[in-house]
Amino acid sequence: MLDIHLHVRVDVDPLRAAQNHMGVCDAIERIAPGGKPADMSAPNVPKVAGIDPLVPPPAQTPAPAGAVIQDRLAGWVSDLTTLHELTERLVGTSALDEALDAVVRAGATLVGARRGLVALEPADGLGPTGTVGLGLAHAELGHMETVPRRPAEGAPEAGDPGPGLFGSSPDLFHEEGLDPLHREVAARLGYAASYALPLNGPSGLLGSVVWLYDEPAEPVERQRHLVGLYVRYAAEHLARLVELERARARVAQLTEELLPSRLPRVSGVQMAVRHRTGPRGGGDWYDALPLPEGALGLAVGSVTGTGPGATAAMGRLRASLRAYAVIEGEDPVAVLSDLELLMRLTEPARSATALLAYCEPGKRKIVLAGAGHSPPLIVGERRTEYAETSLSAPLGMLSCWEAPSVEISPNPGETVLLYTEGLLRRTGDAMDRAFARLHAAAASVPRAIRDDPGAIADHVLRTLLPEGLDEVDSASDIVLLAARFD
């Protein structure tokens, strides 16, 4: 049994009562003996009718340290959430102009600006270049382009976008040494301050971005930090898109070099072609070859695969077909048979589709042979119909290819459309529905443009692939060759 002194047992009840009314810490401080100031050991306020009176808090109570930390954490979480949303939006862009627009909009949100523009000007001079504005009309962007360029000296830093655009200024009209033309443009467009950042990619300067304020202003330190983080990431994303755009341009240039530079002029027939190369480069091709005795050879085809390999195979296939067509072009079946044998020997891992038409414009006579290719479409005043062709396998699929030819006779003024399946695949529909849509697009050609094969081809593309689907990125190439017979 412990020996507990009496005076200790007596102090237990007041301690418990104080804990109930004032909290543990305050109770211990008030009841603990000795060494405390008088105000800290003041007696309890007497109860009234058994109820503790409300004690008003001090007039100025400093915020607890925990609340300050929580506020800071909440601000950091909000900033990180905003950055995450903006970068996710940027990552979702695959086209360069779309990404530039996302960058200038996101930066305007972070720095609190209403207008801005981003200029893409890679320092290596290899392109591509362009300017995208936010809240600026085309004419206003033109005025901005007149502002003198900054010299390319030293590495650009925050606030100094380097060569191309003007830098940061919290008050343009009171800044010393400002170019008079810059001041004139600012007054004309109605902005009084600017904040700019460089777009530094892994391989060098890509361009610069600037945001404009209507009144003298500048972003605070927190805003500068956030937009700096965003622009650093955005520059890496833009650098990847720039390299992709350059690769696409090289593939497109190579493809165009392998295709006819212009269509020949042959009496009795007018021709036009529309060709679009996919982003990775494909194997769709066309040809129009003058033959002896005023004849004309028309061909379209597609090699399996994408990329430089498919493009090179397409070039070899087209060159071989031209040689065979000159020798025995009046017999398209013989030409395709020779081509199939050559492919089996030289391109055993590939297959291809092809359609060859031997045309005699003076007689309006066409002899066709196809290897796994879609039939031509005849468009005229009184009919819009697919030509009946025999079914056959693509080249390279069988040990020995051969299929009968067919003969068609277009009426005066009718146009024959030759195309590749890439045109149908870009619709996104099943093949039967894509064929029906192509037929409807050709049937809707206005009478006023039926004499122009180029206008017919453009109308079919716009109708079949609305909203610019004939221009946007797609894995499929497009070939549409229109031949109008007089």
Instruction: Enter the DSSP assignment of 266.
Output: B
Packing angle between helix 65-91 and helix 221-258, nearest 10 degrees? 10
Burial classification of residue 243, based on how many CB atoms lie within 10 Å of its CB (0-12 exposed, 13-18 middle, 19 or more buried): middle
Sheet bearing 295-306, strands edge to edge: 282-291, 295-306, 352-360, 365-371, 406-408
Predicted confidence (pLDDT) per residue in 364-375, tens digit = 999 999 998 899
No. of helices (H) and no. of strands (E), the chain: 13, 14
Calculated CA dihedral for residues 329, 333, 339, 345, nearest 10 degrees: -140
Of the candidates 196, 255, 259, 184, the one whose C-alpha atom is nearest the C-alpha of residue 224 is 196
Residue type, 315: G
Residue with tokens 């240039």: 253
- Could you give phi then psi for residue 29, rounded to 5 degrees? -65, -35
Question: Which domains occur in the chain, in start order?
Answer: 1-44 (no CATH), 77-247 (3.30.450.40), 259-485 (3.60.40.10)
Instruction: Enter the DSSP assignment of 137.
Output: -
* Beta carbons of 343 and 395 less than 8 angstroms apart: yes
Predicted confidence (pLDDT) per residue in 183-234, tens digit = 888 999 999 999 999 999 998 999 999 999 999 999 999 999 999 999 999 9
Of the candidates 399, 275, 285, the one whose C-alpha atom is nearest the C-alpha of residue 337 is 399
Query: Within 286-391, where are the H helices?
Result: 308-328, 332-346
Residue with tokens 């109008």: 484
* Beta carbons of 304 and 310 less than 8 angstroms apart: yes
Predicted confidence (pLDDT) per residue in 48-89, tens digit = 334 344 445 555 556 577 787 887 788 788 888 999 999 999
* Beta carbons of 114 and 214 less than 8 angstroms apart: yes
What is the structure's pLDDT at 167? 77
Q: How far is CA 328 from CA 108, 263, 321, 338, in A?
A: 66, 21, 10, 10
Mention every residue, 6+ apart, whose C-beta is less than 8 A from residue 27. 15, 18, 19, 21
Sheet bearing 269-276, strands edge to edge: 269-276, 478-485, 415-419, 377-379, 384-386
Distance of alpha carbon 398 from the chain centroid:
41
* Beta carbons of 172 and 178 less than 8 angstroms apart: yes
Predicted confidence (pLDDT) per residue in 342-358, tens digit = 888 888 888 999 999 99
End-to-end CA distance of the chain: 126
Q: How far is CA 433 from CA 54, 167, 437, 438, 440, in A?
A: 80, 55, 6, 9, 11
Residues in the chain with pLDDT < 70? 1-63, 149-166, 279, 281, 399-401, 467-475
What is the structure's pLDDT at 148? 72
